[in-house]
Amino acid sequence: MLEGMDPAPLSTCRLTDAELVLTAESGDLWAEGSFAAEGEAPCDRCSEPVVVRFGKAFRSLLVPKGRGPAGTGHAELREEDLDVGYYDGKGLEVNDIFWEQVALELPLKVVCSEDCRGICPACGANRNREPCSCPGGAPQGPFDALKTLKGKKE
Ligand SMILES: [Zn+2]
Ligand SMILES: [Zn+2]
């Protein structure tokens, strides 16, 4: 499932659970369901592979292309959790519905852990595994460098 799609920043992504109920209502389609997905991505800081799991329940209204939502009866359209999508009137790929939902939930950035210490910029060691002995274990920003320069002048 979810083949032919770009799950960036994940390198792989598959559905582990998916439920969908489609209800037709005067040409519109209500899609209600939920999904659970699992993917893998390199940690943004240390590049170690991280397994990411996410999912959500969704409810969307699919209206035929070239036409807005039918009538004025859709007061629920203002609900924030409701997505409105379009289909070409002939049919739609269930896969597409899920992929659209998955795409909305893809993480922007993946880290193996909130306190991942990343890779040492000096020696390239993964600091989660091997504490390296490079001086200045704490990351030194440009402002730290300025402070040092000032300190030397005075
Ligand atoms: Zn990491
Ligand atoms: Zn180091």
**Which tens digits make up the pLDDT trace of 38-55?**
999 999 999 999 999 999
**Ion ligand 2 residues within 5 Å by Cβ:** 120, 122-123, 125, 132, 134
Instruction: Tell me the domain boundaries of the chain.
Output: 12-105, 117-154
Cβ-in-10-Å burial (0-12, 13-18, 19+) of 101 comes to: buried
- For the question of whether the overall pTM of this predicted structure is more than 0.95, the answer is no
- Give me the percent of the chain exceeding a pLDDT of 70: 73
**Amino acid code (one letter) for 121:** P
Task: Tell me which ligand sits closest to the C-alpha of residue 44.
Answer: 1
- Cα Rg of the chain (Å, integer): 24
CA of 122 to the centre of ligand 2 (A): 5
Give the closest residue to 49 by CA, choosing from 116, 99, 131.
Answer: 116
**Which tens digits make up the pLDDT trace of 54-96?**
999 999 888 887 765 555 444 445 545 567 777 776 667 788 8
Taking a C-beta distance cutoff of 8 angstroms, is the pair 129, 46 a contact?
Answer: no
Q: How far apart are CA 52 and CA 12, in angstroms?
A: 10
Q: How many CB atoms lie within 10 A of CB 112?
A: 19
